[in-house]
Structure 1
Amino acid sequence: MKVGFIGLGIMGNPMAKNLLSAGYEVVVYDVIKENVDKLLEAGTKAGVSSKAVAEECKIIITMLPNSPHVKTVIMGEEGVLEGAKEGTIIIDMSSIAPLASQELYKACTEKGVKMIDAPVSGGEPKAIDGTLSIMVGGDKEVFDEVYDILMVMGASAVYCGESGAGNTTKLANQVIVALNIAAVSEAFMLSTKAGVDPIKVFDAIKGGLAGSTVMNAKVPMITEGNFKPGFKIDLHIKDLNNALETGHEVGAHLPLTASVMEMLQVLHADGYGQNDHSGIAQYYEKITGTTIRK
């Protein structure tokens, strides 16, 4: 089966490679030529546009930064809908606003094209080893049809409800992750300022109720001063902005999310927007003049 893959950044590149390794013929496209060249070296084919990829493939996966990018790729000039045949399936694995997903779903349905929103969690490491958590919104029968493809890229794929439900679930995930990193940063700054080795604190509490996947992943990065991006601060700003806007639309108040958003905005203004979101610790390091290091 031919699968089209549009968007070959930090996440899209390894996801497309996993499909290739699983035996799918993969046709790729990205506006950045270097990203395409890396995948050509791995054995994929390249399309000259999103439209061209859709003309060649029945299933199209998109993995793009935000709602406007997805709308352009799918609904814009030389976009997927210009080349898609009736019955084509679009799997949008980007993390975008739920209302944008619903708008795209409607536009696809009007052209006889099927679409699900299927954002992921796990960052670059889990994209590489194919163990992403995938949360899906849209028609259940479409989810069932592409389940095997999703499981090439993920350790789990859960159907969450109608169109937009996948991205609503992802927003909940991103709120929890951001607040967790902030809590970890705050707690480990406390221990550091009190003169207790952060590694010993980590070893002591990681097996208890405070332990979490986030803490296990991010404390080693923080204590090594390694903020190489697996998931960038600027992208988390995008996700929290979508969460806050969605909260306003549905009447959900998110005061803790708003507080962490302000920390991220400070880091962006200081030039740290391309750092990993574990760099929330750098906000605490800035205001205290102390680094959290082993």
Structure 2
Amino acid sequence: MRVGFIGLGNVGAKLSGSLLRNGFDVMVRDTDKDVAAALMEQGAVWADSGRALAEVCDVIITCLPSPVVSAKVLEEENGVLEGISEGKIWLEMSTTEAEDVQRLGALVEAKGGIAMDSPVSGGCHRASTGNIAIFTGGKREAFEKVLPLLSTMGREIVHTGKLGSASVLKVITNYLAGVQLLSTGEAFMVAKKAGIDLAVAYEAIRVSSGNSFVHETEGQLILNGSYNINFTMDHEVKDVTLFDDLAKSYDVPVELSPVCVSAMEDGLKRYGPRVWSSQVVKRLEDDCGMDLRAPGFPEYLTDHEPEEKGAEVVVTFRASYE
């Protein structure tokens, strides 16, 4: 099975690296060929166009920054769609909207291909070790075909249902992470104002009902002051806005979501689009004239768990696969 990988950013380079490290035949493409250099040294082959990549690969993976970019990569002249033929699988690993992936999926299927959405969740540090979580939407038989790839790139793989369902769940989980990031910053600031050692506060929250994945990961980077989560503020604003728009489209009267979007937009306005998303907590630090530093916390996250082959998560009470 030959795999084509388009989009070698913070996440894409790590996912494609996992495939190479585990013996897969990988072809790569990005707008910047220089970012592919390390992967090519490991055996990856460069593709001069999306069409050229799709023509020779069995599975075409896209891992791109926005729905607009994904659409361009597929639909442009010499793009992926021009190289799609019978039986080829397009695996969309970008964070996108269900409607976008379904529209593009219909174009793929019209050419005899198979479309799946397969975003990841869990942070760049886990993507680098093949231990990240992966959601995948699409037909069950197609899911079973790509499971060897998915279980190489990720640890826990969830077949979410029909095409587009994985993208919905990815937007939902990103929104939850955004809310938890804001609440983590507020909790730390209240603890500090109350005179509590922030290292103690961190551990107390970690072992309590108030714990979250964001607290255990981004919380450490806030206390260090690096904020270096390898995810930028512009993407954070995009993600929480995707959720807010999704909720509105279903007439769900959400209350926390607009507050979250407003806070993230203010962070972007204050600090710029390319700062790390965790820096949204700096708003509180600036407004209170007090930082949230504590000694001993890491500058960046490292996944200390050994790389293991992933597996599908069994959903005990699943009603159906569609």
* TM-score above 0.5, yes or no: yes
Say yes or no: does 1:80 pair with 2:76.
Answer: no
* Structure 2 partner of 1:283: 283
2:93 corresponds to 1:93: yes
Q: Which stretch shifts more, 54-63 or 280-289?
A: 280-289
Alpha-carbon distance in 1 for matches of 2:55, 2:166: 26
Distance in 2, Cα, partners of 1:81 & 1:206:
47
Q: Which moved more, 1:219-228 or 1:272-281?
A: 272-281
Counterpart for residue 105 of structure 1: 105
Aligned to 2:66: 66
Residues 100-151 of structure 1 deviation map (CA, whole Å, 9 limit, x = unaligned): 1111111111111101000110121011011111111121211111011101
**Counterpart code for 1:41:** E
Native 8 Å contact 1:117 1:167 kept in 2: yes
Runs of 5+ in structure 2 lacking a partner? Answer: 295-322
TM-score, reference length from structure 2: 0.88
State whether residues 229 and 275 of structure 1, in contact with CA within 8 Å, keep that contact through their aligned partners in structure 2.
no
Q: Which amino acid aligns with 1:142?
A: A
Q: Following TM superposition, by how much is the alpha carbon of 1:286 offset from its aligned partner in structure 2, in angstroms?
A: 2.2
CA distance in 2 between partners of 1:240 and 1:51 (Å): 33
For 1:192, the equivalent position in structure 2 comes to 192
Q: Which has the higher contact order (CA 8 A, sep 6+)?
A: 2
SS across alignment from 2:246 = helix
Cα offsets for 1:179-216 (capped at 9, x unmatched): 11111100111111222111111122211111122111
Share of identical aligned residues, percent? 30
Q: Is the 2:218–2:227 Cα contact (8 Å) retained in structure 1?
A: no
Comparing both structures, which one devotes a greater share of its residues to helix? 1
Determine helix, strand or coil for the equivalent of 1:129.
coil
TM-score by length of 1: 0.97
**What is the CA–CA distance in structure 2 between the aligned matches of 1:251 and 1:161, rounded to whole Å?**
23
Return the offset for 1:21.
1.1
Task: Tell me the residue number matched to 1:145.
Answer: 145
- For structure 1, which runs of at least 5 residues remain unmatched after alignment? none
Aligned residue in 1 for 2:40: 40
Q: Tell which deviates more after alignment, 60-69 or 73-82.
A: 73-82
Contact 1:136 1:157 in 2 (8 A): yes
Aligned residue-pair number: 294
Note the C-alpha offset of 1:229: 3.7
Q: Give the Cα separation in 2 of the matches to 1:271 and 1:51.
A: 39
Aligned mates of 1:151, 1:60 — CA distance in 2: 16
Cα distance, 1:70 vs. partner? 0.7
For 1:185 and 1:36, locate their aligned partners in 2 and report how far apart those are by CA, in whole Å.
Answer: 36
Of the structure 1 ranges 117-126 and 71-80, higher mean CA displacement relative to structure 2 is found in: 71-80
Partner of 1:202: 202
Q: Are the aligned partners of 2:18 and 2:153 in contact in 1 as well (CA < 8 Å)?
A: yes
Distance 1:224 1:293 in 2: 6
CA RMSD across the alignment: 1.2
Deviation at 1:293, TM superposition (A): 1.0
> Alpha-carbon deviation of 1:259?
0.8
Q: Give me the whole-angstrom Cα distance separating, in 1, the residues matched to 2:150 and 2:253.
A: 33
How many angstroms apart in 2 are the aligned matches of 1:270 and 1:70? 29
Asked if the contact 2:123/2:229 (under 8 Å) is kept, the reply is: no
